[in-house]
């Protein structure tokens, strides 16, 4: 399983659960910003990995750029020869109360990380993916609800939903499934680093569960969608682990 942004939060939990299920795990992280998290994630994966799988690998690279996405895929193919599961998960968000506060650089970085990287990772990985393989994209409840102070982030997550549905249709004849996961409010470093303190302390209070979720509560959805035993008739769909918020699409 190849997971972008696997060093912390939902990505780390996804790597952990795939390792529990016997998958060889490779993940990306941003060098210099997430080195300690990546080392911790590798240790966690190694604790639960099966004895008959290859060692997990952490690739320090920024997947915002097309050439970097190709480099990641090339490295995985050189090491392992194939890609069966691609999880597009890396993300950034910038809090801004007004559209006037969203700079061109913020907008560009948000879409490069949250959408362009997904597009290019899929493009390059698909050159090596065979029938039965799976792509899983992390979107968000905000793709459906919107949020006034995360304008560009919400827009990028909406793009992921459309990308997931359209690519799924394109790949049906190849027997490759494409699905998404749209988490609600989840305790991750991304939230703590980007939201005001008053919003952090009330995170999750708006959902029926009256609390934010934990990454380990979200990760099994990815394992389910990757499994041909469990979800062979599911493609172009989005699962909503969000604490009880009803999403009708």
pLDDT in tens, 108-117: 999 999 999 9
**How are the residues of the chain apportioned to helix, strand and coil, as percentages rounded to the nearest 5?**
50, 10, 40
Q: Quote the Cα angle for 219-162-199, to 5°.
A: 55
pLDDT at position 126 is 99
CA 247 to chain centre: 20
pLDDT at position 196 is 81
Distance between CA 213 and CA 9 in Å, rounded? 11
Q: How many domains does the chain have?
A: 1
Whether 143 is in a domain gets the answer yes
pLDDT at position 78 is 97
Whether 57 is in a domain gets the answer yes
CATH at residue 8 = 3.40.50.720
For 35, half-sphere exposure in the C-beta direction (CA atoms, 13 angstrom radius) is: 3
Residue 74 structural domain:
2-239
Whether 45 is in a domain gets the answer yes
Whether 249 is in a domain gets the answer no
Whether 248 is in a domain gets the answer no
List residues with catalytic annotation: 153
Q: Which residues of the chain have pLDDT under 70?
A: 194
pLDDT at position 34 is 76
């Amino acid at each position: 399983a190849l997971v972008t942004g696997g060093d912390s939060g939902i990505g780390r939990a996804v790597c952990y659960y795939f390792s529990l299920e016997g998958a060889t795990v490779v993940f990306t992280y941003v060098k210099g910003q997430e080195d300690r998290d990546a080392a911790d994630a590798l240790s966690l994966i190694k604790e639960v990995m099966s004895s008959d799988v290859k060692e997990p690998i952490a690739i320090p690279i920024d997947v915002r750029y097309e050439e970097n996405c190709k480099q990641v895929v090339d490295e995985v193919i050189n090491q392992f020869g194939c890609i069966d599961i691609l999880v597009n998960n890396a993300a950034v968000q910038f809090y801004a109360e007004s559209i006037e506060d969203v700079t061109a650089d913020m907008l560009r970085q948000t879409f490069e990380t949250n959408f362009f990287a997904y597009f290019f990772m899929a493009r390059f990985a698909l050159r090596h993916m065979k029938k039965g393989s799976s792509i899983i994209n992390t979107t968000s409840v905000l793709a459906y609800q919107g949020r006034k102070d995360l304008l560009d982030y919400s827009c990028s997550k909406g793009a992921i939903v459309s990308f997931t549905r359209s690519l799924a249709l394109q790949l049906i004849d190849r027997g490759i499934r494409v699905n998404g996961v749209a988490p609600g409010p989840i305790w991750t470093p991304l939230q703590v680093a980007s939201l005001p303190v008053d919003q952090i302390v009330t995170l999750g209070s708006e959902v029926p569960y009256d609390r934010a979720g934990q990454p380990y509560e979200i990760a099994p959805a990815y394992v389910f969608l990757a499994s041909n035993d469990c979800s062979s008739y599911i493609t172009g769909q989005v699962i909503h682990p969000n604490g009880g918020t009803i999403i009708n699409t």
